[in-house]
Amino acid sequence: MHSETIDLPTSTPGTRRTLTVQRFGTRGARPLAYVQASLHADEVPAMLVADKLRRILTGLEDEGRLAGEVILVPVANPIGLSQSVMGDHIGRFDLADGRNFNRDYPSLTEAAAERLDGRLTGDADANAAMLRTALAEALAACTPTTVAEQMKHALLGLALRADYVLDLHCDSEAVMHLYTLTPSAEVFAPLQRLLGAEAVFLAEESGGHPFDEAVSRPWNELARRWPDKPLPMGCHSVTVELRGQSDVEHGTAHADARAIAGFLAHIGVVRGEKPELPEPLCRPTPLESSEPLTAPVGGVLVFHRKPGDRLEEGEVVADVVDPVDGTVTPVRTGSSGLLYARIATRFVQPGKRIGKVAGTTLRRTGPLLSP
């Protein structure tokens, strides 16, 4: 393993923040996989899985089994990691401006298109190489201003070179689930099966410009722009939701890391025997069919169902109880499906999102991800 440090700008004199980048295999070798943990810094399971994965990758490297390169960023958000308010860790949003650390990444499609216009040929490999260069140049032309934007710029710069990107997160209370672009569903089917994902969500564009789509969506969009030119999907990215925030346990994290290493074998990063794939626990479904459950009123939240439960249309998932007069307001699902996530807090305000259902019949529009 080769470890390097990227210094991040800081708005506070006398303080220092860094990104640690750990590289395995031969630099520049293909396939290149990029893995980062806890971009939402309070999603701690990802950092423990990254630690277990580092140990596995070190062993594989010592055995000479890495055919490609792996870049691991075990702590992707040192800004959020240092944030707390009266003892509560705030890692999802930047306290400086309230913005989500996994939103508002630059869209590089148009800038890359300008650099490629009239240059693509009939050679798919040459076209892919030109697009990688165009994306890197487009990013270099961006001018980040805030400290968080500088961090996002650094992370994106590391990931743009990759063939495969795994962004490790978790939800509040949840089962294992994945988000990826529709064209990448088959590529990540082995990962889905090895991790035992109970829900997989697909979209061409989920809204909000998250990290994973910033690195992969330009490939899909530009291939559609020039259908007469061979332009492969040169970067497949996935957001891995490692269950819930309290699911921090050595055995679970090691099993998840082994699953990721097994996936790296299936995509050719690791030499040797590929692990057998278990039967899938679900079929991928459109992200637009997922149903957010919201509290219609404020009060004490009492769940009737837990993550992993199958729901029928109209079923009561939770009650909101008014602690003053005892009024009970039920929260019902609008479609059948799997309750794959719910919040951990038990007092809510009106409009608060309290859970998410992997349905099949809804067709939502607009931003499809949680704020």
Which of 283, 308, 338 is at the close of a domain? 283
Q: What's the confidence (pLDDT) of residue 18?
A: 95
How many Cβ atoms are within 10 Å of 62's Cβ, its own excluded? 10
In a domain, 366, yes or no: no
Selection from 184, 149, 178, 182 nearest residue 163 by Cα: 184
Same domain (yes/no): 110, 31: yes
- Residue 310: strand, helix, or coil: strand
Total count of domains within the chain: 2
Selection from 90, 70, 72, 69 nearest residue 81 by Cα: 90
Same domain (yes/no): 237, 121: yes
Same domain (yes/no): 94, 228: yes
Q: What's the confidence (pLDDT) of residue 362?
A: 77
Same domain (yes/no): 97, 222: yes
In a domain, 24, yes or no: yes
Q: Tens-digit pLDDT profile for the chain (371 aa)? A: 999 999 998 878 888 899 999 999 999 999 999 999 999 999 999 999 999 999 999 999 999 999 999 999 999 999 999 999 999 999 999 999 999 999 999 999 999 999 999 999 999 999 999 999 999 999 999 999 999 999 999 999 999 999 999 999 999 999 999 999 999 999 999 999 999 999 999 999 999 999 999 999 999 999 999 999 999 999 999 999 999 999 999 999 999 999 999 999 999 999 999 999 999 999 999 999 999 999 999 999 999 999 999 999 999 999 999 999 999 999 999 999 999 999 999 999 999 999 999 987 878 888 888 88
Single pTM value for the model? 0.97
CATH number at residue 95: 3.40.630.10
Q: What's the confidence (pLDDT) of residue 91?
A: 98
Buried b (16+ CB within 10 A) or exposed e, 73-101: bbbbbbbbbebeeeeeeebbbbeeeeebb
Tokens of 164: 């495969």
Q: What's the confidence (pLDDT) of residue 13?
A: 84
Q: What's the confidence (pLDDT) of residue 282?
A: 97
Q: How far apart are CA 82 and CA 283, in angstroms?
A: 38
Q: What's the confidence (pLDDT) of residue 177?
A: 98
Q: What's the confidence (pLDDT) of residue 22?
A: 98
Same domain (yes/no): 158, 238: yes
Contact 341, 171 (CB under 8 A): yes
Same domain (yes/no): 353, 238: no
SS3 percent helix, strand, coil of the chain, rounded to 5, is 30, 30, 45
Same domain (yes/no): 355, 256: no
The boundaries of the domain holding residue 62 are: 2-283
Contact 101, 92 (CB under 8 A): yes
Contact 198, 161 (CB under 8 A): no
Q: What's the confidence (pLDDT) of residue 125?
A: 96
